[in-house]
Amino acid sequence: MPVQLRGRKKLSPEHDLLLACARSRLGPEHLARVRKASRKGIDWDILWSLARAHGVGYFVGNHLCGANAITNGNPKPTGSSPWTLPPRVRQQIQHDLWQETAHALILRDQQLRLNAELNGAGIPVLWLKGLILADRLYGQYEARHCGDLDLLADPSDISRLEELLAQLGFERFRPSEAGTEFHPMAAHHTTWSARVLPDWQLIVEVHHRLSGPASCQPTAADLLHRSRLISFHGQDFCMPSLEDELLILCLHAHHHQYALLRCLMDVGEFVGRFRDQIDWPELLARARRYRCLGRLGAALEITDALLGLENSDEVLDQVPALTPRQRWAIRSLPMVMLLDPRTQENDLRQAQLALLMDSWADAVRMLSPRVFPSGEYVRSLCPTSWRGIPGLARLYYYLHSAGQLLRSGSVGFLVRTR
């Protein structure tokens, strides 16, 4: 039985319209939802802020401004829409999407350059998500908001890869906030940056594994072994197999606590685009082998509950039912919280969603970096004067975490009070 998320009746018109537009094509039922939400009155500034925060601004902007009203960030004359946008809002959308397109052009050129350098150096890497995924799913590489470039390499190749990045002018990224880079749940990658414009830095995330416990995911070697070449603007890029790619998208949605519509939209559109090409028995066999069956099923069910999966009954019937523990973990999620992208860092929900792991032992593995972090991490957080006193850095960490938990309980939501 499909999961029913809590609080659908508490959604604002902005939320309803956002969910209707977070897709590549609007069907009659989606148009009806947009009209219904518009009649209730929309705070367009709140809606556009939500759309951009969720990484689905391209789709919301295009749908609201009329079919083909914005192509490559430029307005096109079209027939009237069934709703009226204030001129100021329309101009803001067109301006922001133009900037997104300009950013995507720069990112594309840098990715082509980096891929050529990696191929020339003989360093095998797997490109994750990003512009190539957008090009395959939506036919427009700028359609999917991308803030950086993500690549995965075998741990044995990481040192060579990082040496190459240094030669190309990249530097290891050191954030201004102490401890951010060494967050215990983000130990699966390093971050590198290079200034390519006076006001813009290119960020490259170098992954040696996916997020989550190393024992509960496919290894980089396995993913590389099953990879395939995809042509993108005249170059061959190494991308995951279809089955691995869907699994990675589902794990990525879990990593962001299902609070980023871009991640859920990727899952839904990927299933709709490649459903008949995916080897579902093989996908489920891999999910069992890598102990991530619960996260796969949860991502599909939450995507269906929020956005709707194409042929959802057929798709969900192929995936084993979630256990009572796993079903409770997502049924108790309020929809309003899922639609607030700021709750991606909510520690209480992170603990709740750890119950989606395939066993209690794996749930403990998921949370253990937060509960028992490395000494390097706790020392990076505490004041310098405390670091030499045995045990004091760890005590500071637990007090710091407790304060975060208390603050997360009172987090506000980006919704209008009615």
Structural domain spans, the chain: 8-408
Q: What is the percent of the chain where pLDDT is above 90?
A: 61
Backbone angles phi, psi at 362, to 5 degrees: -70, -30
Q: In this structure, which topology does domain 8-408 adopt according to CATH?
A: Beta Polymerase; domain 2 (3.30.460)
Mean pLDDT, the chain, rounded, equals 85
Structure-block tokens of residue 313 = 């009954």
Per-residue model confidence as pLDDT tens digits over 201-249: 899 999 999 988 889 999 999 999 999 999 999 999 999 999 999 999 9
* Residue 158 to residues 51, 103, 155, 210, 355, Cα–Cα distance (Å): 35, 27, 5, 14, 32
* Contact partners, residue 265, CB within 8 Å, separation at least 6: 22, 23, 56, 59, 303, 307
Per-residue model confidence as pLDDT tens digits over 370-411: 676 667 767 777 788 877 787 888 788 777 767 765 654 443
| CA torsion, ordered 67, 73, 74, 77, to nearest 10 deg | 10
- Which pLDDT value is given to residue 69? 41
Short-list 224, 321, 226, 319, CA closest to 280: 319
pTM: 0.86
Backbone angles phi, psi at 82, to 5 degrees: -75, 5
Short-list 194, 200, 154, CA closest to 172: 194
Per-residue model confidence as pLDDT tens digits over 277-334: 999 999 999 999 999 999 999 999 999 999 999 988 899 999 999 999 999 998 878 8
